[in-house]
Amino acid sequence: MASLPGGMHAQGLRRGRLTRAISDRPPSRVRSPLNDPNRGDAAARNAAAGRARLRGPPDSTPSLLFPDEFSPSPSGIDADDLPSAASQPVSAASQRQSAASSSRPAASSSGRRGARGNAPPNSAITTKRIKLCLDWRQLASVVREYGSHFNHINAAAALVHLAQLGPGPSQPTPGSSSKADAAAWDAYAAYEALLQELVQTVHQFAVEFGARQVCNAMWAAARLSRNHGAAGHPLCSALLDQLLPYAKVQQPWANAQELSICLWAVAVGGLSPDDDWLEGWLLAFETALPQAAPQHLATCMWSLAQLGVAPDHEWVGALSARAAQIEPGFTARDAAQTLAGAAALSLNLHAAAPQLQRGLRARLLEAVEQEWEDAQYYKEQHHMQLPPDRRASPAFSQAVIPGLEEGVAATPGQAAAHALACGIWALASLSCVPTTAWMERAYALVEAHLHDFTAQGLATVVWGAVSLGQPLPPRLLRALYAATSDAAVLATWPPQSLSSLVWAVSVADAASSSSSSTSRPLAPPSAWCAAFYSAVEHQLHSWNGQQVSMTLVGLARMGVTPDAQWATSLVSHLCTACTHVSPQPLANTLWALAKLGFNMNEGGLAAVTQLLTSRLFTAN
């Protein structure tokens, strides 16, 4: 069964105005909306109207082509751009709540040191003090001194600012006893105490939140959870769960920016909102569309794709009409995320608004004349066969495929690299095959921005190029190896990016060797291999079985033979630490060891090979 981001499968569950995927994630712990007095009759009428306008999209949602290799961040809600509760106008409901809260006496300061004097500090001044903090220690000092007098705006602002300050101290290795380790433990404990206090404060004031504070708090919780690693932070994940019903209550009063941020937080936080929540969100966002900006639409499409939720045709038509109105304001990044989300959910924006596709082409892909070839040409030239329902029609492809020069030229640095990766990824997801001339121009842009790419971005470019049947040329591969030959650089790459890069290059090598082309992608130089081996050893504890198998098979296909001890450590980790591994990765690993020429009956490989074989028979 094909997979969607977050472990979701491409079996549609039709209900209401959406088609949603079946998820492997556990259901959200919070299900029922709270009896908030602000909900009133408007929310009930909106929910009833949403359910009355049910019209289902296609019964199945196609999987992303490579969902785990690249997850672009939504534009418009980065730390520097996030609207603060103090500096932006709040919703009408929030203003009413703020007036009510300001008329109450200040909270008791028992258990915490209050502000100087008996009079509570001004809320706006407290928010300003929060935003002037340059690190989490300064923020902790402000919370200690003024926290007992926080109101709902201060609580949301403090959590948001903590998220904007970036990741906190990482947890030290247990068992150390040096002074430096003791100081690291103290810093880690202090940061966790600050986070716990702010989470509790936000939860305490959540009932008073307006739409602005809810979206800000959800953004902060999702960002802090993501900063903690792939597993997330339990406190932040729990807070997201607790804020979900409050977000439902505020949907009728939220604007497009607030709604898009809430949905982004739900997607990043791995929540599973019920259909009533999603239907209410769809109706509220459709109502707010006249004020929506391009970045809000792009964030919305990206988040829906991550959740595996496909809206109905009527909703897509309304969004497409609004996007066509504001198309000149789309950046290359916005266009890439919109196209990628539409491709992932099989939403035909071209049918809803033909002029929108032409506009997004000008933003994202502008330049070369497009030559669309049929499926037989694709199969013969590129040695790949995608399912027919994954291919775009020729007219749709001609509206989407172009070059990246114009959009990237107007986008600096890392944003340009991000747009390039998103654009190539979107083309691969849409099965739109560019010409060789177009890919050469795109590769020149990739090489020019090579040092601006993230690890996921580089892996995505290689994957996308291979999926399009036009792997990276030797010149660009040399530059890529040279830029990443530092062990310290590769050590920062996540396991998925390392294994995906090796696998994609090996697939490109196999495709080139079986074609009539005389040029083959270059095997990585010894310096890069040494850095790669070191990076894998450094983070092997976090690798899963699929990543180990992909890496060994990729090296075998490329003809790169690692040290026997290094290979033994990988196979040993696969056998002992990776508990839930399907038979295919186990069999692929055995094939790779044989292909690499290792004697699996001698030395350390004998024991792990026997264990691997036993695991394979048990799995079968």
Structural domain containing residue 43: 3-364
In a domain, 144, yes or no: yes
Distance CA 459, CA 611 (A): 32
For residue 537, how many C-alpha atoms fall within 13 Å in the half-sphere facing its CB?
A: 15
Contact 331, 366 (CB under 8 A): no
In a domain, 135, yes or no: yes
Buried b (16+ CB within 10 A) or exposed e, 200-221: ebbbebbebbbbbbbbbbbbbb
| Token pair listed for 19 | 């088609």
Q: Which pLDDT does position 361 carry in this prediction? A: 62
Q: Which pLDDT does position 289 carry in this prediction? A: 93
DSSP 46-100: HHHHHHHT-----S--PPPSSTTT--PPPTT-STTTPPPTTTSPPPHHHHHHHHH
Q: Which pLDDT does position 277 carry in this prediction? A: 93
Q: What is the mean pLDDT of residues 411-438?
A: 72
> CA 32 → CA 51, 307, 457, distances in Å?
17, 20, 39
Q: Which pLDDT does position 617 carry in this prediction? A: 59
Placement of tokens 């082509």 in the chain: 65
Q: Is 166 in the same domain as 298?
A: yes
Q: Which pLDDT does position 50 carry in this prediction? A: 38
Q: Which pLDDT does position 217 carry in this prediction? A: 93
Q: Quick check: 473 pLDDT over 80?
A: yes
Q: Which pLDDT does position 78 carry in this prediction? A: 34
Contact 280, 43 (CB under 8 A): yes
* Closest by Cα among 474, 392, 390, 459 to 421: 459
Q: What confidence tier does 19 reach under pLDDT thresholds 50, 70, 90?
A: low
Q: Which pLDDT does position 463 carry in this prediction? A: 82
Identify residue 535 by its one-letter amino acid code: A
Q: What confidence tier does 265 reach under pLDDT thresholds 50, 70, 90?
A: very high
Q: Starting at the edge strand that comes first in sequence, how are the strands of the sheet with 8-15 ordered?
A: 3-4, 8-15, 18-23, 309-311
Q: Quick check: 312 pLDDT over 70?
A: yes
End residue of a domain, out of 349, 364, 379 = 364
Percentage, residues of the chain above pLDDT 90: 17
Q: Is 346 in the same domain as 492?
A: no
Residue 606 CB contacts under 8 Å (≥ 6 apart), including other chains: 600
Domains of the chain: total = 2
Q: What is the mean pLDDT of residues 230-241?
A: 85
End residue of a domain, out of 348, 364, 380 = 364
In a domain, 93, yes or no: yes
Question: Phi and psi for 42 in degrees, rounded to 5?
Answer: -65, -45
User: What's the predicted TM-score (pTM) here?
Assistant: 0.52
Residue 336 CB contacts under 8 Å (≥ 6 apart), including other chains: 72, 364, 419, 422, 423, 425, 426
Weakest-pLDDT range from 246-260, 385-399, 473-487: 385-399
Q: Which pLDDT does position 147 carry in this prediction? A: 87
* Closest by Cα among 524, 564, 67, 158 to 341: 67
Q: Which pLDDT does position 232 carry in this prediction? A: 79
Per-range mean pLDDT, top range of 315-319, 343-347, 385-389: 315-319
Weakest-pLDDT range from 222-226, 266-270, 431-435: 431-435
Distance CA 164, CA 168 (A): 11
Weakest-pLDDT range from 60-64, 445-449, 453-457, 487-491: 60-64
In a domain, 249, yes or no: yes
In a domain, 92, yes or no: yes
More confident residue, 404 or 220: 220
Q: What confidence tier does 509 reach under pLDDT thresholds 50, 70, 90?
A: low
Q: Whole-number mean pLDDT of the chain? A: 70
Distance CA 21, CA 293 (A): 27
Residue 481 CB contacts under 8 Å (≥ 6 apart), including other chains: 522, 524, 525, 528
Q: What confidence tier does 412 reach under pLDDT thresholds 50, 70, 90?
A: low
Q: Which pLDDT does position 417 carry in this prediction? A: 78
For residue 435, how many C-alpha atoms fall within 13 Å in the half-sphere facing its CB?
A: 13
Q: Which pLDDT does position 305 carry in this prediction? A: 87
Distance CA 151, CA 429 (A): 46
Q: What is the mean pLDDT of residues 375-382?
A: 40
Q: What is the mean pLDDT of residues 43-69?
A: 32
Identify residue 490 by its one-letter amino acid code: L
Residues 604, 610, 616, 618, CA torsion sign: negative
Distance CA 266, CA 238 (A): 12
Q: What is the mean pLDDT of residues 206-223?
A: 91
- How many beta carbons lie within 10 A of that of residue 184, not counting itself? 17
Q: Quick check: 390 pLDDT over 90?
A: no
**Tens digit of pLDDT for each residue in 133-149?**
999 999 999 999 998 88
End residue of a domain, out of 334, 364, 394 = 364
Q: Is residue 18 helix, strand or coil? A: strand
More confident residue, 96 or 362: 362
Residues 367, 372, 377, 380, CA torsion sign: positive
Nearest-10 crossing angle of helices 313-325, 294-307: 150
Q: Residue length, the chain?
A: 620
Q: Which pLDDT does position 366 carry in this prediction? A: 42
Query: Which contacts of 587-591 are long-range, i.e. CB under 8 A and separated by 24 or more positions?
Result: 587/616, 588/549, 588/552, 588/553, 589/548, 589/549, 589/552, 589/553, 590/616, 591/553, 591/556
Distance of CA 295 to the CA centre of its chain: 16
Distance CA 335, CA 333 (A): 5
Distance CA 229, CA 451 (A): 24
Contact 221, 105 (CB under 8 A): no
More confident residue, 410 or 318: 318
Q: Which pLDDT does position 286 carry in this prediction? A: 93
Q: Which pLDDT does position 590 carry in this prediction? A: 80
Question: Phi and psi for 18 in degrees, rounded to 5?
Answer: -140, 160
In a domain, 588, yes or no: yes
Q: Which pLDDT does position 589 carry in this prediction? A: 81
Weakest-pLDDT range from 145-149, 331-335, 510-514: 510-514
In a domain, 561, yes or no: yes
Contact 59, 50 (CB under 8 A): no
H-assigned helices in 365-452:
375-382, 394-400, 405-409, 413-430, 436-448
Q: Which pLDDT does position 415 carry in this prediction? A: 73
**Tens digit of pLDDT for each residue in 280-300?**
999 999 999 999 999 999 899
Q: What confidence tier does 485 reach under pLDDT thresholds 50, 70, 90?
A: confident
Q: Which pLDDT does position 609 carry in this prediction? A: 67
In a domain, 381, yes or no: no
Q: Which pLDDT does position 419 carry in this prediction? A: 74
* Closest by Cα among 275, 202, 210 to 239: 202
Q: Is 502 in the same domain as 353?
A: no
Q: What is the mean pLDDT of residues 423-443?
A: 75
Q: What confidence tier does 358 reach under pLDDT thresholds 50, 70, 90?
A: low
Q: Quick check: 469 pLDDT over 60?
A: yes
